[in-house]
Amino acid sequence: MYEDRQSKEPNGVIETPQSTADAKSKATHPSFGLSSKLLLLTVLFVMLSEVLIFVPSISKFRADWLSRKLELAEVAALIYTKSSNDLMDEALEDELLERLAVQTLALRTEGSRRLLAMVDMPGQIARDDDIRAMSPSQSIMAAFDTLLWGEGRTIRVVGQSQNDLGVIELVFEETPLRQAMVSFSVNILLLSIVISAITAGLVYLSLRALLVRPILRLLHNMAGFTSNPEDASAVIKPSGRRDEIGMTEEQLSVMEMILAKTLQKQRRLADLGLAVSKINHDLRNILASAQLFSDRLSMLEDPTVQRVVPKIMGALDRAVDYSSAVLSYGKAQEAPPQKRLLMLHQLGDEVSDFLDLGDGSQVSFINQIPDQLEVYADPGQLFRVLMNLCRNAVQVMQNETEDAVIRRLELTASNNKTETVIGISDTGPGVPKMAKEALFMPFQGSVRQGGTGLGLAISAELVRAHGGSICLLDRAPGAHFEIRIPKGNALSIE
């Protein structure tokens, strides 16, 4: 059954309905979607920003911590210098050093260094920092040096007094400074995580509403349209947004509508081709029987019969060829033209006889092709071209209801150095403007009401098979077609 049929892809893989459903599910539900990527990237970018901010922040934290320590030491030095005693009491000195958490407190003035307080066994100095002349890059390097190696280390810090006392010099253990910096770093990290989570959540929700969900809507629509592209109801309905997403929806809607109409048209053409092939089979049998009866009629000696039978035989032969040609056109191929030198005037008369454009016809036929003009073409195919064009003109003019309307069909032809130019003109209403846009396309370029446009498409294909061209001239009144066929070029269909 058709429903159970499996389709095979060009690479030999069998595609079942289940595999199609799985592919559709994967297409509309990606394992690591855009929302997840946006969330992860937002967190990473916020953390990166916090890292970039952390570097100068930790440097400033260290500088401020040292400045506050120098300020406290300066207050102690100021009190000491204002006192009347030259020597500090030992108990007071120990308490001062303990409160300041330093091992040595000294004051430098011009040309001298005065030791204000010192523990009994100061540690070995591992680093000297003069905050008076420290550049930003040096301050950053000093901060990371403290974080990495400051545990249990003794440093000396020198800074300028704010009260013109001179230069304050401190020697202390770096561990409290490092602990304060570690605590500050942990706080920064926790704050960064909170900020990252909040920012990522807000960005995620905003982008999901503005971008991800509309894209998922487009994706679901395309997946649904792919499963049944001929269904016009599957065409996406634009949301009316004014941004790029809205423009994409509008363009996708237009594309899907065009594609749905095209596929529907192709399906109808396929159905028509199947119907034509069935009709063609029975029609050829009927025509074969008619040919047998015509052969018997040709044996009669009646002069009238002898004059009419050849035309009937010719018409039947062409009908058989036409029925085969329609099926060939459905296969997108025509037989290569078998070119001969033809008397074009005589071919025009045969078209007139076939259309019954004699004395009693509503349409007057004028064959102005010179009697001796020759054309190098396939007789059957050129007859079909002229027949299609002339029959269209006759049918259009016969539909005119006014008796005073002139109905005239005229054939002209001439030779130049390289080609034969054939003209077919009539006095009808002309080709409609809408038909001109797709004049030689099957089922689109019909020049008359109820027509299919197949005759013009076949005519154009046959003319191109001869290496020639066909066009509609912009002349009034009526329709004026011009055919150009090269002289002596036996070109075949590509």
> What does the pLDDT read at residue 374?
92
pLDDT for the residue numbered 300: 73
Structure confidence at residue 463 (pLDDT): 93
Looking at residue 13, what is its pLDDT? 38
> Across the strands, what pairs with 160?
167
Given a contact cutoff of 8 angstroms between Cβ atoms, the answer to whether 411 and 367 are in contact is: yes
Query: Which of 193, 218, 248 is the C-terminal boundary of a domain?
Result: 193
Q: In this structure, what CATH number is given to the domain that contains residue 466?
A: 3.30.565.10
Indicate whether 18 belongs to any domain. no
The answer as to whether 152 is a domain residue is yes
Tell me the pLDDT tens digit for each residue of 71-124. Answer: 988 888 887 777 655 556 777 778 888 888 899 988 888 878 888 888 888 889
Closest by Cα among 477, 321, 338 to 410: 477
Question: What domain range includes position 140?
Answer: 35-193
Can you read off the two tokens belonging to residue 483?
Answer: 């055919």
Q: How many domains does the chain have?
A: 2
Domain membership flag for residue 481: yes
With respect to residue 178, please indicate whether it lies within any of the assigned structural domains.
yes
CB within 8 A of 454, min separation 6: which ones?
Answer: 329, 442, 443
Computed from CA positions of residues 381, 382, 383, 387, in that sequence, does the dihedral angle turn out positive or negative? Answer: positive
The answer to whether 400 and 477 have CB atoms below 8 angstroms apart is no
CA distances from 297 to 286, 294, 305 (A): 17, 5, 7
Helices (H), ranges, 419-482? 433-436, 454-465
Specify if 313 maps to a domain: no
Residue 125 resides in a domain? yes
Q: Which of 164, 193, 222 represents a domain boundary (last residue)?
A: 193
Q: Is 433 inside a domain boundary?
A: yes
Residue 330 lies in a domain: no
CA distance 479 to 77: 114
What is the DSSP secondary structure assignment for residue 212, as one 8-state letter?
I
193, 208, 223: which is the final residue of a domain? 193
The whole-number mean pLDDT for each consecutive block of 10 residues of the chain, a chain of 494 residues, reads 40 42 51 73 83 90 92 84 64 82 88 84 89 90 92 92 86 93 92 85 83 83 82 81 84 86 80 71 69 70 74 72 61 74 93 84 91 92 91 87 85 92 92 78 60 76 92 88 80 33
